[in-house]
A and B are shown apart, each in its own frame.
Chain A
Amino acid sequence: MGMGGMSTRKDSPAAVEANGVSKIFGDGSDKVVALDDVSVTIKQNEFFTLLGPSGCGKTTLLRLIAGFDHPNNGNILLEGDDISGLPPYQRQVNTVFQNYALFPHMTVAGNIAFGLEMLDKPRNEIDATVANMLKLVRMEELRDRQTSQISGGQQQRVALARALAPHPKVLLLDEPLSALDLKLRKEMQIELKRLQNETGITFIFVTHDQEEALTMSDRIAVMSNGNILQIGSPREIYDHPAERFVANFIGETNFLTADLVLAKNKAGKIKLSSGKTIAATLPDNHAANGKVTAVVRPEHARIVKPGTSAALEGRLDNIVYFGTDTHYHVKLGAEGDFIVRMQNSRDDAGKFAAGSKVGIAIDSNAAQVLRD
């Protein structure tokens, strides 16, 4: 394919490696730092998600990998080869665009064949691959349709098939599910995981939807303001957020100010405002002893009677019933609200009344100290 450097393949290099990548748009007073010295290594066959709010730089990073933009600083390696200077059409990387960007003047099959035609593959090979792809995304009957005559979900599948057909080293997905309704989105989440398993291609997925990121990814990089704040498995990110932004962005959480009284590698003990001391997990390079912020997920705490088992005490302000579970809003005084989420069972109705004094028990190791 003339993609260069195929022979210098080191033993299983990372699929994509970004080293100190910066991207600045505009200049002077209009200057926007979209990416600020970002480094990340994405492994082979990984489902890697870039998660963050709009404007955090996730799409910029994706476009740099695709080659639509070029970094001001740093370089990007694809399977060990520096591709920073290559135009998009010389990178063995394909993109599924947010709006799909299907070619309106071609049929479904024509769209899927396009990449292979541009690689000058022989016709019989193109036909075979297109047939395979149509089967992979279950679109065989619609092969000769115009792309304007198929539904949004079907367009999504065609976009996937088109990007997968040339068998890229890495597939980039730019919020591909954001245009679909909830039901279809759930279906496509499962479909995407299946496709990744079946093709064995590395997926880099960009989204602002934390739930999507948690359910689909092998690893997640949480981004904000052009920086990667934390990289880890969904469980690591959710259970052990290292920074306030991460804790806040993903899921609901309670913030507590506390004193770090004991620190031993990642295990520590913190003293809460109530005077009780509980075990807590520490981030990698945490601050020394002193005032810290700890987070506790609502489902990692229970409402109990005030007393010894309660780490915190407060007044039960509000009870919100959700069917499967109930949210208890507890007023802690100076620290504000603490939300507890408990799964409902048949016999706990009316156990606690709004306005009464309650205690909050925190599960062992549920508290996570933030880096800030």
Chain B
Amino acid sequence: MSTLDQLAQSELATGENRASAIADATHRAHVRRRLLLTTPALIVLFCAASGPLLIMLIYSFLSAGDYGGVEWTLSWDGWANVFMQRDIFDGTLSIADAHVSILWRSVKLSLLTTFTALVFGFPTAYFIATRPPRTRNLWLFLITIPFWTNLLIRTFAIMEVIRNQGVINTILKSLELIDEPIQMLFTDFAIMIGMTYVYLPLMVLPIYASMEKLDFRLVEAGYDLYATRFRVLRRIILPLVKPGVVAGSILVFIPSLGAYVTPRLLGGGKNMMLGNLIELQFGQGRNWPLGAALSFSLLIIVMAALLIYVRGVGKPESGHD
């Protein structure tokens, strides 16, 4: 009994010190455990992402080998060839028109894809968010179904729909609305439709996540204060779900810019995008330094676009969170 009493006494006396000591020790243990837990992920990240990036960066400053690969001699040709080309006969430098037009097509189609995905994705997210909670999960499930199918198969399915003897042209023809099939496959339009289809869920899901948190009583308050439907959308709903719109746009824009499979199949090889151009350098082009430099150019464009977007659109939102 008496030892227990003593223990209780000393514990009372040093209680506060002990409490903070215990808290410190627990905290340190937590930090250690967290580091330990993240180590495998960090290793994978370094080996699979940072490592290859570093190799690519090095390659972009070397000269091309005759049969692919690189020669270990320092050269600026990779970077110079991103926008310039050297004439085979007289060796003069001029702007690489093909590269510029591919870059322009990539940016244009990615922006268009983002915009189209937003136009279709926003109402979809709104629709799902306004369903009763039970049916919401069903709709979300339906939205994610395309993810289950292989990208190639989905892209071939689109080809089947838009090709000259495809579903759309056959129907239009049988309705006698057109005489000649409309050329949709192997155009920029086809690439954009394909990318919109593939990346639409990436737009819908973040917007839905924001929309689900939206207090629809605010919408009622807007109507109550004489705001018409359009004004409620513009003044209340849009500002409140903006984080979701920003996230969705980024998630669609970035993979669109580097898309490879969709433009390759739906663009038919002549309507190239950056991804295809890069692939070309590592394949038939046998110009790895140029491919590496192009990859880094893509990375720079994405980062710049992100920076502009987050600065311009995302800033006012962060003020009051």
- Listed in ascending order, the chain A residues whose CB lies under 8 Å from chain B are 66-68, 87-90, 93-95, 97, 99, 101-105, 114-115, 118-119, 146, 148-149, 162-163, 166
Chain A CB count within 10 A is highest, among B220, B226, B228, for: B226
Instruction: Flag whether B23 is at the interface (Cβ < 8 A).
Output: no
Instruction: Flag whether B51 is at the interface (Cβ < 8 A).
Output: no
Is A118 in contact with B225, judged by CB distance below 8 angstroms?
Answer: yes
Is B225 in contact with A166, judged by CB distance below 8 angstroms?
Answer: yes
Q: How far is the CA of A119 from the CA of B320 in the complex (A)?
A: 27
Of chain B, the residue at the smallest CB distance from A87 is: B223
Size category, B interface: 20 to 34
Q: How far is the CA of A95 from the CA of B224 in the complex (A)?
A: 7
Given A66-B224, A115-B226; 20 other pairs, CB 8 A cutoff: A67-B223, A68-B220, A68-B224, A87-B223, A88-B224, A89-B223, A89-B225, A89-B226, A90-B226, A94-B224, A97-B217, A99-B215, A101-B218, A101-B220, A103-B218, A104-B218, A114-B235, A118-B231, A146-B319, A149-B320
Q: How far is the CA of A102 from the CA of B240 in the complex (A)?
A: 12
Q: How far is the CA of A33 from the CA of B239 in the complex (A)?
A: 37
Is B221 in contact with A97, judged by CB distance below 8 angstroms?
Answer: yes
By Cβ-Cβ distance, the 3 closest A-B pairs, closest first, are A115-B225, A118-B226, A101-B221
Is A94 in contact with B225, judged by CB distance below 8 angstroms?
Answer: yes
When A105-B239, A105-B240, A105-B320 are in contact, do A89 and B228 touch as well, CB less than 8 Å?
A: yes
Name the distance in Å between B167's Cβ and chain A's nearest Cβ: 40
Instruction: Flag whether B140 is at the interface (Cβ < 8 A).
Output: no
Is A166 in contact with B226, judged by CB distance below 8 angstroms?
Answer: yes
| Dominant secondary structure of chain B at its interface with chain A | helix
Of chain A, the residue at the smallest CB distance from B226 is: A118
Is A88 in contact with B217, judged by CB distance below 8 angstroms?
Answer: no
Q: List 28 A-B contacts (CB under 8 A).
A: A66-B224, A68-B224, A87-B223, A90-B226, A93-B224, A94-B224, A95-B221, A95-B224, A101-B217, A101-B218, A101-B221, A102-B221, A103-B218, A103-B236, A104-B240, A105-B240, A105-B320, A114-B222, A114-B225, A114-B235, A118-B227, A118-B228, A146-B319, A149-B320, A162-B225, A163-B224, A166-B225, A166-B226
| Dominant secondary structure of chain A at its interface with chain B | mixed
- Listed in ascending order, the chain B residues whose CB lies under 8 Å from chain A are 215, 217-218, 220-228, 231, 235-236, 239-240, 317, 319-320
Q: Choose from B220, B239, B240 the contact partner of A88 (Cβ within 8 Å).
A: B220
Chain A CB count within 10 A is highest, among B224, B228, B231, B239, for: B224
Of chain B, the residue at the smallest CB distance from A68 is: B220
Name the distance in Å between A364's Cβ and chain B's nearest Cβ: 49
Q: How far is the CA of A118 from the CA of B236 in the complex (A)?
A: 12
Is B226 in contact with A119, judged by CB distance below 8 angstroms?
Answer: yes
Is A103 in contact with B221, judged by CB distance below 8 angstroms?
Answer: yes
Q: How far is the CA of A66 from the CA of B319 in the complex (A)?
A: 33
Name the distance in Å between A2's Cβ and chain B's nearest Cβ: 10
Chain A residue contacts of B217, Cβ below 8 A: 97, 99, 101
Chain A residue contacts of B231, Cβ below 8 A: 118
Name the distance in Å between B195's Cβ and chain A's nearest Cβ: 32
Chain A residue contacts of B240, Cβ below 8 A: 104-105
Q: How far is the CA of A90 from the CA of B227 in the complex (A)?
A: 9
Q: How far is the CA of A87 from the CA of B228 in the complex (A)?
A: 9
Name the distance in Å between B170's Cβ and chain A's nearest Cβ: 43
Of chain B, the residue at the smallest CB distance from A114 is: B225
Name the distance in Å between A175's Cβ and chain B's nearest Cβ: 13
Name the distance in Å between A329's Cβ and chain B's nearest Cβ: 45
Of chain A, the residue at the smallest CB distance from B240 is: A105
When A104-B240, A166-B225 are in contact, do A148 and B320 touch as well, CB less than 8 Å?
A: yes
Chain B residue contacts of A148, Cβ below 8 A: 320
